[in-house]
């Protein structure tokens, strides 16, 4: 099955819940397990939260969700700039009560997460999750 969705959401906190709802709706068309659904919900929430917080004030949050067979690709974009020294790794900052957990969580819960080149003044985070071995029990 192949499913693609592209939407521009307003740069408001409600965009995070809307993005999570859209992803859940698309994933409901698949037989992906609950653990993976939950992980992807965290990933899209963190990515969209970062876009809402860090984007230029007049920017939308551009979201693309693609599910193609065993691969899910999420792209979250906005007008702004890539964070200085942005690290996409699973080293969580300590203590966990401070900010800066989003990118490490995204890295830990995805297979590949990277900022990709786009037009000037655009930030695009591409997140890939292989779904091949994470199907729900029959």
Q: pTM of the prediction?
A: 0.84
Q: Tell me the per-residue pLDDT of 88-138, one tens digit each, with 9 for 90 and over.
A: 555 555 555 445 678 888 989 999 998 887 777 888 899 999 987 555 545
For 2-130, give the CATH class.
alpha beta
Whether residue 129 contacts residue 40, with contact meaning beta carbons closer than 8 Å, is answered with yes
**CA-based end-to-end distance of the chain:** 18
Each residue of 10-48: pLDDT tens digit? 999 999 999 999 999 999 999 888 999 999 999 999 999
| Stretch 61-87: mean pLDDT | 85
d(CA 132, CA 96): 31
Q: What is the number of residues in the chain?
A: 138
Q: Where do the structural domains in the chain lie, given as residue ranges? A: 2-130
Residue spans of alpha helices (H) in 28-132: 34-54, 102-109
Taking the C-alpha atoms of 90, 91, 96 and 100 in order, what is their torsion angle to the nearest 10 degrees?
-80
* pLDDT score of 62: 94
**Environment class of 16 (CB within 10 Å of its CB; exposed 0-12, middle 13-18, buried 19+):** buried
């Amino acid at each position: 099955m192949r499913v693609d969705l592209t939407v521009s959401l307003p740069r408001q906190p409600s965009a995070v819940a809307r993005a999570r709802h859209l992803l859940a709706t698309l994933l409901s068309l698949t037989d992906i397990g609950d653990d993976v659904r939950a992980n992807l919900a965290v990933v899209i929430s963190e990515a969209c939260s970062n876009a809402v917080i860090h984007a230029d004030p007049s920017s939308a949050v551009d979201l693309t969700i693609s599910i193609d067979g065993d691969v899910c690709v999420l792209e979250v974009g906005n007008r702004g700039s890539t964070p200085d020294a942005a690290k996409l790794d699973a080293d969580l900052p300590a203590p966990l009560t401070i900010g800066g957990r989003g990118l490490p969580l995204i890295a830990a819960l995805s297979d590949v997460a990277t900022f990709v080149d786009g037009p000037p003044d655009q930030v695009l985070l591409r997140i890939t999750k292989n779904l091949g071995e994470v199907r729900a029990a029959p």
